[in-house]
Amino acid sequence: MIRTILGLLAGMALAFAGVFLFAWVLYWLWERLGGKEEPEPIEIDAQPPEPEVVAPAVEEEAEEEEEIEPEAELEAKAPEPPVEPDDLKRIEGIGPKLSSVLQEAGIVTFAQLAAASPEEIEQILEAADPRLLRLAHPASWTEQAALAAAGEWEALAALKGTLKRGRKA
């Protein structure tokens, strides 16, 4: 008998909870979807309004443009041919790592290396990796590069004989 009473009470509690949940969902949907009034549609004119003229157009005589000769224009636009990179590892003190750092910085030929100052080269190396300055000293690189750019290979070999890792031995 107690079982049946408890069963009935449990059934009634579940039914009440179900009805309450159902009512809450309906209320939520009502508020979310149907409880609010629909906004009235806005009427849009078929033609857009004409733009207003703010200031009258001023007519000025166009200045005569300078004529550029076609040949000069072509010369200005002609791209420079790609520079064939030199083997910078032929310089005493420059190995594969230092050569790649210099090439990434835009120094790819002996002439470019000869034109750079040792301080500029040190700045390039330090910017890439400060430890690179321990590998070699670039003080003699510009002198060696100038000889290589001029094609004076015997003089370069003689100078390289007096150097160790780019420094005077």
Count of helix runs (H) and strand runs (E) in the chain: 7, 2
Residues of the domain holding 4: 1-34
pLDDT reported for residue 150: 92
Q: State if pTM tops 0.75.
A: no
Q: Tell me the chain's radius of gyration from C-alpha atoms.
A: 42
CA quadruple 94, 98, 100, 103: dihedral sign: negative
List of the chain residues with pLDDT < 50: none
pLDDT for 28: 85
Given this model, what pLDDT does residue 138 score?
A: 84
Instruction: Confirm whether 98 is domain-assigned.
Output: yes
**Number of domains observed in the structure of the chain:** 2
Q: Looking at the structure, do residues 92 and 155 belong to the same domain, yes or no? A: yes
Look at residue 82 and tell me if it is in a domain. no
User: Is 114 inside a domain boundary?
Assistant: yes
Helices (H), 37-169: 70-77, 96-104, 110-115, 118-128, 141-150, 153-161
pLDDT of 46 reads: 67
Residue 113 included in any domain: yes
